[in-house]
Amino acid sequence: MIARRADMVVTRWGARFMGRRFPVSIGRGGITAEKREGDGATPAGVWRLLHGGYRADRGAAPPASTLPLDPIGPRDIWSDDPDDPDYNQWLTGTAHPFSHEALRRADPLYDLVLASDWNYPHATPGRGSALFVHVWRRPRYPTAGCIAFRRDHLAWIVARWRAESRIIVQL
């Protein structure tokens, strides 16, 4: 795979995008070519960012971007249950009987969150839900399988993301 300048290349050591290098956090299970639900690993491969969300209620406007970014509401969730007919989907609702993750979190991790096309929007149950790109907890602190950046770095990346940009996650 030959990376183009508009691509973001991610390894366990960091990320490179538009001529800059960034520290990055990846999944606690490392990077894998055999992604499974709950393994905590970041899937290797080539992915596109499709859309995202931001916490408008925290007073921050989203960065200008080619990506569609919507405010995250108090009832927005992401289904992570392989038995759910809506597995691996962004949903809005009050009572969801399946396992899910709240997108409106108390911590700042999803103050800016982007969904990739990893196993989405047409999900195969058990292959792993949501490869998100989001704000990190702290440097190199592992994620549940997502890719995470320092807040200002993520905003810089989102502002420069292009329609042809890809995420290339290398083993």
Nearest to 42 by CA among 133, 105, 126, 156: 133
Question: What pTM did the predictor assign?
Answer: 0.94
Spatial separation of the C-alpha atoms in residues 132 and 171, rounded to whole Å: 18
What is the DSSP secondary structure assignment for residue 155, as one 8-state letter? H
Chain centroid to Cα 55, Å, comes to: 15
DSSP, residue by residue, 13-49: TEEEETTEEE--B-BTT-EESS--TTS-PEEPEEE-E
Domain ranges in the chain are 49-162
Residue 1: pLDDT band (50, 70, 90) is low
Task: Read off the pLDDT of residues 38-87 as tens digits, 9 standing for 90 and up.
Answer: 899 999 999 999 999 999 998 777 888 999 999 999 999 999 999 999 99
* Mean per-residue pLDDT over the chain, rounded: 94
At residue 70, the pLDDT reads 94
> Strand 49-54 vs strand 69-71: parallel, antiparallel, or unpaired?
parallel
Q: Measured on CA atoms in the order 36, 39, 40, 46, is the torsion positive or negative?
A: negative
Across the range 9-20, mean pLDDT stands at: 97
Spatial CA neighbour of 112 closest among 75, 147, 162: 147
